Structure 1
Amino acid sequence: MTPADAEAILRENFAPWIQRLGLRVEEVGERRMIVRLPWSDDLAREGGGLSGQAMMAAADTATALAVAAARGGFVPMTTVQQSTTFQRPVVGKDVLIDVRVTKLGRTLAFAEITLASEGSTETAALATTVYAIL
């Protein structure tokens, strides 16, 4: 699957409010994907940091795309669990979301996600997810 293929899945299968996040697929690998969440003042909370809700939605969406890529195409799925730990704020920079699918079964998929400000080696947030493949 190419980044363009993954972006087509995003356009065709996700809600309009997810589309407005402006997510862009940067890289697709075997059980790995990097997605960019562009900075937007509209997604900032009081104090100027990117809202956790936006980062969690972006991580959730990026994971669904990574699972689709690992399976070779989109299939209906739903989030069973997502746990996110925020470590530092993101201010004025795009966020790179690095998803690694750690287990891909017939009915469940597991992933670990690292979110970092573009240009930073420090983690902004870590997440784990479990998806049910329907």
Structure 2
Amino acid sequence: MSETVMNLAETAAFLERDFPQMNAGGRHYHLEAVGPLSARMRLDYHERHLRPGGTVSGPSMMALADYALYAAILANIGPVALAVTTSLNVNFLRRPGPAALVAECRLMKLGRRLAVGEVAIRSAGAEALVAHATGTYSIPPER
């Protein structure tokens, strides 16, 4: 696949329109790039995503991984709102620093009914992974 079906602006607009709850209370998720079988998303460092001890919580990292995976799939198949997560596995590798998190998503398989991808999450500006996720999405049949 050499191009996406939806560009960055189209994918971001779809997410904003169909999933406004992801930015309820303020915009914290930012889709930064989409490409063939890929996407990059950033989660701002904000107290609403912290756990005791001042680190970004596991649920916030899981949401970031899932949202980045969804964005990569949409950019590559088009605006299919009913594509849904069927599995998400996250390995938390180290405590993130007090910085935004950046999720780099790569789709390993993009079929007509299933998409499988992996997401590498890092603290902004750092090389070391803080989490690694794999996920599978079910894509509804065309009607």
TM-score (normalised: structure 2): 0.88
The residue correspondences of 1:9-20 to structure 2 (distance < 5 A) are 9-16=14-21, 18-20=22-24
| Native 8 Å contact 1:84 1:126 kept in 2 | yes
Deviations 1:6-26 (A, max 9, x none): 21111112251x223621111
> RMSD of the TM alignment (CA)?
1.2
The residue correspondences of 1:8-87 to structure 2 (distance < 5 A) are 8-16=13-21, 18-20=22-24, 22-71=28-77, 73-75=78-80, 76-87=82-93
Query: Which stretches in structure 2 are left out of the alignment for 5+ residues?
Result: 1-5
Query: Which stretches in structure 1 are left out of the alignment for 5+ residues?
Result: none
Query: Matched residues in 1 for 2:64 and 2:19: separation?
Result: 12
User: For structure 1, which segment, 109-118 or 5-14, has the greater mean C-alpha deviation from structure 2 after superposition?
Assistant: 5-14
Query: Matched residues in 2 for 1:81 and 1:46: separation?
Result: 27
Deviations 1:6-61 (A, max 9, x none): 21111112251x22362111111111111011110111000111001011011101
Q: Return the offset for 1:122.
A: 0.2
Does residue 135 of structure 2 align to residue 121 of structure 1? no
Identity %: 33
Q: Residues 41 and 91 (structure 1 numbering): CA distance in 2 closer, same or farther, change over 3 Å? A: farther
| Native 8 Å contact 1:4 1:25 kept in 2 | no
Q: What is the DSSP-based 3-state SS (H/G/I as helix, E as strand, rest coil) of the residue aligned with 1:124? A: strand
The number of residues matched between the two structures is: 132
Aligned-partner residue type, residue 70 of structure 2: A
TM-score (normalised: structure 1): 0.93
Q: What is the DSSP-based 3-state SS (H/G/I as helix, E as strand, rest coil) of the residue aligned with 2:69? A: helix
Shift >2 Å, 4+ stretches: none
Q: What is the DSSP-based 3-state SS (H/G/I as helix, E as strand, rest coil) of the residue aligned with 1:111? A: strand
Structure exhibiting the larger radius of gyration computed from Cα positions: 2
Aligned with residue 104 of structure 1, among 88, 106, 110: 110
